[in-house]
Amino acid sequence: MNMNKRMTLWSLAALMTCGAGAQTIYDAAALSDRDLNGTARFVGMGGAMSALGGDISTMSTNPAGTAIYRSGDVAVSFGLSNFGTESKYDGYKANSDKLRGDWNSAGVVIPTKIGNQTSLRYVNFGFNYQRVKSFYRNMTMEGHLGAYSQTFQMANQADGITNWPNDPYLSNDIGWLSALGFNGYLITDLVAESDLDGRNLQPFRLNGQEVTNRNGEKMYLTNGEYYGMYTDGYGTFRSTERGGIDEFDFNLSFNVNDRAYFGFTIGAYAVNYNKYSFYDEDYGDGQGYCLETWSKINGAGFDLKFGTILRPFESSPLRIGLAIHTPTFYSLDYKTNALLQSDVLNDLSVPNEVNTPSGEIGLYTEDTYDILGGDMVRKFQLHSPWTYNLSLGYTVGRELALGVEYEYKDYSGVKFRDEEGYSDTFAYENSTTEMLKGVSTFRIGAEYKLAPEFSLRAGYNYRSAAFKEDAFKDLPINSIQTDTDFANAESLSNYTLGIGYRTSSFYVDLAYKYTTQEAKFYPFDMFDGERLVQATQVKNARSQMMVTLGLKF
């Protein structure tokens, strides 16, 4: 079988090998992202209520929004979502749709009236739970890979290793992807005599004897230069992602002269993310391999949010909102295990675990769960970006409310740290945040009262992409991650509609949200100044119906 020298990624990875890496910019972006969620009224108006206030969900965007309240409010929200993914690659098209229930939010605001004569009119307390991010997604693609293979990435990660220990999965200097590839005979540091290119290398000896390949050529040891499979293989990929991020907000807000409103929120977060991926390369003639990976991220975090709403003109209903959110400070556990099964015929003619003595192809299995007696666990910290929010609200009589806002988060500012809080351990991972960029979000929404009891709502969101055009999943040479797939998500749009019915003590709101986002997906990739692997075109969509039941007191 022909072999090809691995492609070079970033040589910087070879210089930074402190500790065992586990995270990439794709983990950072996923944990920093937020869905449009909350009460049905909030969602129906596209979330553009940061300056208008008066809704429980605003405590997570502009904490001053709850200072508008003059009576108590308690509400629960739930719904139904349909998640859909469409992928196209090499003439192959796949669709995945899944319907599931949602528990969106539950919260309460308790106002405390100070008086009509004092400057401080109200001090309000609030609590809200909501699912701020859902990781529910299925992904499938397959097709011819051309001249490239995932084994090139395995070989790249092995670059420079001259001595493989008996326990590579416990070494802080060896990446799991390369260990699986080497132990599974998918990569090699041997070169045939015809491929020496004038290099003065020593012949490879086994039990004192020089070794030849099936063509009778001597094999030479390259001292740490590795090669992957060079063939037009057929790739198949499947993955499932589950879990989400839950937010628990504790809010305090102040009404000053019914003209200035201030608030702050302490947010607590619970992370539960699970991913399974299956990748297969088929070389024909009964040869190929498959790699399965199971990974989990669990943990908790917190942030602080500060906000204000101002009415600059007493005679005008115009409201200006300003809010700032600190990074979310996460403490997380990453757990993983991987299973490699290979029946690739090795170039060497000597018997080994893959080749039987008769020369037939055998099945080689490498299971890290069995080898280590369970998952590998890595603890780390993640600091998400700062968030800045500017909003405007305007009402026309009692019939029409309009909201518009702009939010900015610089995703390149995310930082990884070890469990002790030091960033040096993740020097390489933090350097790759250059592949991320600032994200702008625009929200606009409106509410119109057909009658005192009935309201119609509509909204729209646009969020720019977080990844640069040339972003790719660059695993450090000591990473324990073995799932090489990634998707560069493009801009996202939310379209919302809503309707509400209210009495003096009870209300019910309905909302519909349609989310669409395209992405370029890669089961693996090598980047050498240009894309070397063809992208799978992906369209993710989510249709969500939700209802909120609330009581005023």
Q: How confident is the model at residue 216 (pLDDT cuts 50, 70, 90)?
A: confident
Nearest Cα neighbor of 74 from 120, 37, 105 is 105
Q: Which residues contact 157 (CB under 8 A, 6 or more apart)?
A: 175, 177, 178, 475, 477, 479
Q: Please tell me what DSSP assigns to residue 14.
A: G
pLDDT on residue 442: 98
15-29, 44-58, 238-252, 336-350: which has the minimum mean pLDDT? 15-29
Q: Domains along the chain?
A: 3-45+55-189+224-314+330-552 (2.40.160)
H-helix or E-strand spanning residue 29: helix 25-32
Tens-place pLDDT, residues 438-496 = 999 999 999 999 999 999 999 999 999 999 988 999 888 899 999 999 999 999 999 99
Which pLDDT score is estimated for 207?
77
The pLDDT score that the predictor gives to residue 373 is: 96
Going by their DSSP bridges, the two strands 536-552 and 73-89 should be labelled as antiparallel
159 phi, psi to nearest 5 deg = -50, 125
pLDDT of residue 7: 35
Q: What confidence score (pLDDT) does residue 530 get?
A: 67
Average predicted confidence (pLDDT) for the chain: 90
Q: Do 310 and 260 form a contact (C-beta atoms < 8 A)?
A: yes
Residues 6+ apart with CB under 8 A from 209: none
User: Locate tokens 């990976």: which residue?
Assistant: 293
- Report which of residues 210 and 483 the model is more confident about: 483
Residue pLDDT, tens place only, 72-116: 999 999 999 999 999 999 999 999 999 999 999 999 999 999 988
CA distance 111 to 120: 13
Q: pLDDT at position 215, please?
A: 77
pLDDT at 364: 83
- CB distance 404 to 392 below 8 Å: yes
CA distance 445 to 431: 38
The pLDDT value given to residue 347: 55
Question: Residue 509 belongs to what H/E stretch?
Answer: strand 506-522
Report the percentage of the chain scoring pLDDT > 90.
73
pLDDT at residue 345 tops 80: no
